Amino acid sequence: MDGFIVNVEIIVVRNDRVLMIVRSDDEDFGGGWLTFPGGKLDWDGPCADALEETARRELVEEVGIDLVPPVVYVEGHTFAANGTPVLDIVMLTRAGEGEPAAQDPTEVAGVEWRTVDEIRQDPRAQPWTRASLERAVGKLPDLAATRRTPPPSF
């Protein structure tokens, strides 16, 4: 194997909704899909919090909002994108202030706050996105424990 991609997806929750993006049809992979914000880790040399920094950068680049700590690890899984192996790390956090909006229409065609049930039923959400969402729902108590507030009820 010549190399692989490290991708970070961030599941952002606000009350009983999950922030989703619609990938632009201009994208090489997954155009029109309903996904979580995220993207590739950029190698800029050693970094102590590379996954969190990637999530932070992608949230700003794709939807114009800041990452709000804490961040909870959901899962890491692998797949291939156009023949290249990908290690996909999925993380969970709460939404901060402000409303997200697509920053670059060539990357993100739209931004939607959806309930878990709406995502489960949306044909644009791929099976692995729905599987990551189910694992994230199981991690909501971990996220709530970091602030001593009840988890969102989905």
Q: Are 66 and 99 within 8 A, CB to CB?
A: no
pLDDT score of 135: 95
Going from the N-terminus, what domains does the chain have, and what CATH number goes with each?
Answer: 5-145 (3.90.79.10)
pLDDT band at 149 (very low <50, low <70, confident <90, very high): low
The 10s digit of each residue's pLDDT in 31-89 is 789 999 999 999 888 888 999 999 999 999 999 999 888 999 999 999 888 888 999 99
Token pair, residue 19, equals 């922030």
Q: Is 63:111 a contact under the CB 8 Å cutoff?
A: yes
44 contact partners, CB below 8 Å, separation of at least 6:
none
User: Which residues, in sequence order, are CB contacts of 17 under 8 Å at separation 6+?
Assistant: 113, 114, 115
| pLDDT, the chain, mean | 89
Label residue 121 by pLDDT band (50, 70, 90).
Answer: very high
pTM for this model (two decimals)? 0.88
* CA pair distance 32, 88, nearest whole angstrom: 19
Give the Å distances, CA to CA, from 4 to 16, 69, 78, 87.
35, 28, 10, 7
Q: Please, which pLDDT band fits residue 147 given cuts at 50, 70 and 90?
A: low
